[in-house]
């Protein structure tokens, strides 16, 4: 019971910010984080986040309404800042009375942040470094997510543990949530005790019963080990591509071929660099759909974080959350028992 109260104290700020029982966000995974999984996560006490991805405004509006029909609890929407119709998507979130919006895929513009905040929406954004975290805080975002390279999908170049040390040990006035490679309650406790307001998990929910991912996609997760989730390769430094972590398969070779094709078009002046990067986004959206929806785990992209090795079975979201909470409470209880019972002299280190 004491450990339960400790956990509530540790993530009280995150729970208050999200309006939830548990400060656990669902990672926004294109084609996976849709109405069913998002509503299930929110209904179970966590915070679901719809993945807008490459959706047009009309489809996002439909998905928001469908999700609201399944849950009365808070949930958020993840928007990609490089989306060509971002302004329209923001308006859809405002019209849909969304409580939280997560801006991802680049540095959010002050004007977009201001528009969302003026509508009463809490804005979250990803910070890949302390310098960016400070800049985003000054830009007006209400909370940050720091995501390490262990995560699935689009990733940065720094590990979760290093980002946590870099950012959580510095004073910020807004809540910070940690993501990337988290698959156990004790890991959540570690970051909460460092000062995190909560954690974001994606890979752990892919095989939830409520997830509409294809059975083949789920089986690939259940068979995989951490080392199977590898980042994509960038062929040309002139052509910066945000790495994507996924289970290695034939789609990895397809991506290299796609890069060669786009690089050739950019070199020939047939395509602008920004347009080429958007083409890459469209490629990943299509490749991911083939795997998640169609079940093509050979030519489709099986985006997964390195915590995939901890996904052992298909089970309801509520059970996944319960296991994480039990693990977190057990870790806190163990640590308390250790420090209470351990004589001070036994912990002395001599050199």
The residues with which 146 forms a beta bridge, in sequence order, are 178
Residue 239 clears pLDDT 90, i.e. is over it: no
Q: Which two tokens stand for residue 93?
A: 């979130």
Q: How confident is the model at residue 335 (pLDDT cuts 50, 70, 90)?
A: confident
Mean pLDDT value across residues 109-130: 97
pLDDT class for 238, splitting at 50, 70, 90?
confident
Average pLDDT, the chain: 93
Flag whether the pTM goes above 0.85: yes
315-334: b (≥16 Cβ within 10 Å) or e: eebbebbeebbebbbebbee
138-180 residue pLDDT tens:
999 999 999 999 999 989 889 999 999 999 999 899 999 999 9
* Residue 308 clears pLDDT 70, i.e. is over it: yes
What's the pLDDT at 7?
94
**What's the whole-number mean pLDDT along residues 200-214?**
98
Give the pLDDT confidence score for residue 130 in this predicted structure. Answer: 96
Location of each CATH 3.20.20.70 domain in the chain: 2-211+312-335
336 contacts 3 by C-beta, under 8 angstroms: yes
83-119 pLDDT, tens digit per residue, is 989 999 999 999 999 999 999 988 999 999 999 999 9
- CATH level 3 topology of 2-211+312-335: TIM Barrel (3.20.20)
């Amino acid at each position: 019971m004491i450990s339960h109260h400790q956990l509530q104290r540790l993530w009280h700020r995150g729970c208050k910010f999200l309006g939830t029982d548990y400060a656990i966000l669902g990672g926004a995974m294109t084609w996976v984080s849709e109405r069913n999984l998002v509503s299930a996560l929110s209904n179970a006490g966590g915070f679901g986040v719809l993945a807008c991805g490459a959706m047009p405004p009309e489809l996002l509006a439909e998905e928001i309404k469908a999700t609201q029909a399944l849950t009365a609890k808070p949930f958020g929407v993840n928007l990609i800042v490089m989306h060509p119709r971002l302004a329209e998507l923001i308006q859809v979130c405002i019209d849909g009375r969304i409580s939280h919006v997560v801006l991802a895929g680049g540095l959010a513009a002050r004007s977009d942040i201001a528009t969302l905040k003026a509508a009463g929406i809490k804005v979250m954004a990803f910070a890949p470094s302390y310098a960016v975290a400070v800049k985003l805080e000054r830009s007006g975002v209400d909370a940050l997510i720091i995501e390490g390279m262990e995560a699935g999908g689009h990733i940065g170049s720094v590990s979760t543990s290093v980002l946590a040390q870099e950012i959580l040990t510095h004073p910020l006035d807004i809540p910070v949530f940690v993501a990337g490679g988290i698959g156990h309650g004790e890991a959540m406790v570690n970051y909460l005790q460092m000062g995190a307001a909560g954690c974001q998990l994606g890979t752990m929910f892919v095989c939830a019963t409520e997830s509409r991912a294809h059975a083949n996609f789920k089986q690939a997760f259940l068979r995989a080990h951490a080392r199977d989730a590898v980042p994509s390769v960038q062929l040309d430094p002139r052509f910066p591509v945000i790495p994507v972590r996924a289970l290695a398969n034939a789609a990895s070779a397809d991506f290299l071929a796609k890069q060669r094709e786009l690089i050739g078009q950019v070199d020939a002046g047939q395509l602008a660099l920004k347009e080429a990067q958007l083409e890459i986004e469209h490629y990943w959206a299509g490749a991911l759909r083939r795997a998640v929806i169609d079940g093509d785990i050979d030519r489709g992209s099986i985006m997964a974080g390195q915590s995939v090795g901890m996904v052992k079975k298909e089970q309801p979201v509520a059970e996944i959350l319960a296991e994480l909470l039990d693990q977190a409470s057990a870790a806190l209880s163990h640590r308390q028992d250790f420090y209470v019972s351990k004589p001070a002299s036994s912990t002395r280190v001599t050199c």
